[in-house]
Amino acid sequence: MKIAVFIANGSEEIETITPIDILRRANIIVDVVSVTEKTVKCSHGVEIIADKVINEINFADYDGVVIPGGMPGATNISNSKMAIDFIKHLLENNKMVSAICASPAVVLATHNLTNGKNLTCFPAQDFINTIKNSGATYTAKSVEIDGNIITANGPKSAFEFSMQICAYLGLTPKI
């Protein structure tokens, strides 16, 4: 089992680090993949060194992706053609796509990848409108699972989000 966790300048720290930690505790191979340069400065100034840059990965090697929120991190991921192509590849192959905070709206809904799905996101009206305008349903839950898409509403849900990803994958982290 191998999961990519996307990062970009402005990604939210808790939403990035918590899934990395929890998934690795479930013995999942996690690659921290930057959509830009190897070292990323997160939304609260924490620097993270990625394992890989997106142009170094083979899409077929992965079973899913975690997309943290944070601004402008979500926008930076959304603006990466390779990141969107990777997400489309996962969806076309019925693999897991998970996004938290701004990313369900800014990354997934903006690119019309969620039509007919139930999603949650950070409860900002712009994000909610983006989800609704994409043909998805906003549920306001802390974590929402609809098929192979898992979404969460923000930093306060990062742990539950990470645990639900593990449960979806049939694994239990050692915590």
Token couple for 107: 């990354």
Q: Hunting for tokens 């939304």 — which residue is that?
A: 43
Examine the residue annotation and report whether 121 is marked as an active-site residue of this protein: no
Amino acid sitting at position 147:
G
Around Cβ 41, how many Cβ atoms within 10 Å?
16
> Are 166 and 150 spatial neighbours (Cβ–Cβ below 8 Å)?
no
Active-site option among 42, 101, 121, 166: 101
Rounded to an integer, what distance in angstroms lies between the CA atom of residue 11 and that of residue 74?
7
User: Sign of dihedral through CA atoms 140, 105, 27, 93?
Assistant: positive
Rounded to an integer, what distance in angstroms lies between the CA atom of residue 36 and that of residue 175?
32
* End-to-end CA, the chain: 19
Q: Hunting for tokens 């979404």 — which residue is that?
A: 151
Residues tagged active-site: 101
